Structure 1
Amino acid sequence: MIWVPLLLVAFVVAGVGCVRVCRAALAAARPHGSSGGTEELTVCEAAYLAGGPFRVTDLTLVSMHRARRLLLAHTGWATVLDASGAGDELERAVLGAIGPGGQSPVPAVRPVVAAAESVRRLAEGLVDRGLAVSEEARREMAAGVRAVRAGFLLTLLLGTVAALLVPAGERAPVVAGFALPLVGSGLCLLIGGIEVYPYTRWASPAGQRLLSGLSPADPLTDPLTALATRGPAVLEPELRAALHA
């Protein structure tokens, strides 16, 4: 019965990971702040809920490009065309990220703008209104999914070792015993990785309801809203190449 301690370790590790994911999922789904069910979203808020800080950054870059304040070249460079207007905080963050030279690679600009104070304030406002999941909750969800994944792999390893420690004719109870934590971890990983984690990555359930209530935007008639809700896939090939050079 040398495999029994290994089985107990597998149960403990798998159980801890599953409990952590369930607690993180409940915390992410729990309403925070005021209800956002009757509010309307700005295009920047919709962009954050649909795709996070980088979606807001892409929206701002494309908006400035269409307003001829910025040139996004298909080679992946951003060039300032008009810095005379003050613009909003997000546009000023873009100009600051590009720098005084007036030109910078887009891959260098995007992470700077995504981490800007203006984007953080946008996110905090959505969290306060109960529309977005807080950064702490997202980190806990990601850590929970990693814990379940580690528990699944450890259970698989311990089960293999335990099966090798007993004679071939006595392996049936070993396999049956390790199947329980293995199946439990696998199901929890499936739920956490496919349904819970992506669903609550940025938008809370209230935010998701607002997003789902938006009319599907036509990229030809409302390109910015389409970009905010559906991502860069709706853009022209040149702009897609510029954003993801």
Structure 2
Amino acid sequence: MLWVPLLLVAFVAAGAGCARVCRASIAAARPHEVPGGTEGLTVREAAYLAGGPLRVTDLTLVSMHRARRLLLAHTGWATVVDASGGDELERAVLGAIGPGGQSPVPAVRPVVAAAASVRLLADGLVARGLAVPEEGRRALAAGVRAVRAGFLLTLALGTVAVLLVPEGERAPVLAAFALPLTGSGLCLLIGLVDVYPNTRWASPAGQRLLSGLSPADPLTALATRGPAVLEPELRAALKGSERSRK
């Protein structure tokens, strides 16, 4: 019965990981609305709730392109056409492109996503109860990692346990390890497919507001559904070409 201690370790690892992700998902989904906090969304706020800072960046780049302030080429380069005026986020884009007036889009996106104006946008949504706080996102991501680690450890321990017993006695061992392996596997699947993506940025109140937005406006569609709704040239520009990364 040398495999029994391994089974106990597997149960503890799988149970701890599942408990951690469940606590994090419950905390992220807990209502924390404030009075008046659900009064409409701007298109940039919708972009943050649907896709985070990089979605806000993509929305700003595309809106500036359509206003003829930027040229987004399918080769993955952004070129400044009009550097005058603009709000803080647009000025962050211009600053990320630099004084030369041209830069690869893959180099611009993370700089703008980390800009103070995007952080202020996020803080405002958190204060209104529409976005998940950063600590909540970190806890949920850590929970998913813990479940993954528990699943892999259970799989490894089960393999070792099967090898420790004669071939004719392996059926009970496999049946015993099937429970923690199935439990942690299902928890990991739910966390990766449903819980984590749906609560990564938007709180339940934010998700309800997003679901009520109409994608008829092209910028709203981009904010809520991402670059997949864009024409191929703009999708290529945001993705960047292999040449622009060199």
Q: Is the 8 A contact 2:131 2:206 kept in 1?
A: yes
Question: Which residue of the partner structure matches residue 79 of structure 1?
Answer: 79
Which runs of 5 or more structure 2 residues have no equivalent in the other structure? 241-246
Which runs of structure 2 are paired with 1:28-67 in the superposition (5 Å)? 28-34=28-34, 38-67=38-67
Deviations 1:76-128 (A, max 9, x none): 1111111122x111101101101111111111000000011110111111111
Which runs of structure 2 are paired with 1:1-245 in the superposition (5 Å)? 1-34=1-34, 38-85=38-85, 87-217=86-216, 222-245=217-240
| Greater alpha carbon shift after TM alignment, 175-184 vs 16-25 | 175-184
Distance 2:158 2:84 in 1: 67
Q: Which runs of 4+ in 1 moved over 2 A?
A: 35-38
> What is the Cα deviation at residue 31 of structure 1?
2.3
CA shift in 2, pair 1:215/1:37, >3 Å: farther
Q: Is the 8 A contact 1:46 1:229 kept in 2?
A: yes
RMSD of Structure 2 on Structure 1 (CA): 1.3
> What is the Cα deviation at residue 14 of structure 1?
0.6
Secondary structure at the counterpart of residue 78 of structure 1: strand
Deviations 1:1-44 (A, max 9, x none): 11111011101111110011001101110123515674100000
> What is the Cα deviation at residue 212 of structure 1?
0.4
Deviations 1:200-245 (A, max 9, x none): 011111100000011232xxxx221121112111212111111111
Secondary structure at the counterpart of residue 215 of structure 1: coil
Distance 2:154 2:8 in 1: 10
Q: Is the 8 A contact 1:131 1:205 kept in 2?
A: yes
Distance 2:221 2:183 in 1: 40
Q: Is the 8 A contact 1:97 1:112 kept in 2?
A: yes
Secondary structure at the counterpart of residue 82 of structure 2: coil
Distance 1:186 1:35 in 2: 40
Q: Is the 8 A contact 2:33 2:205 kept in 1?
A: no
* One-letter identity of the residue aligned with 1:144: G
Distance 1:84 1:187 in 2: 53
TM value normalised by structure 1: 0.94
Which runs of 5 or more structure 1 residues have no equivalent in the other structure? none
* One-letter identity of the residue aligned with 2:4: V
Deviations 1:155-206 (A, max 9, x none): 1111111111111222222112111111110111121111101110111111
Distance 2:123 2:11 in 1: 38
Distance 2:106 2:38 in 1: 37
* One-letter identity of the residue aligned with 1:238: E
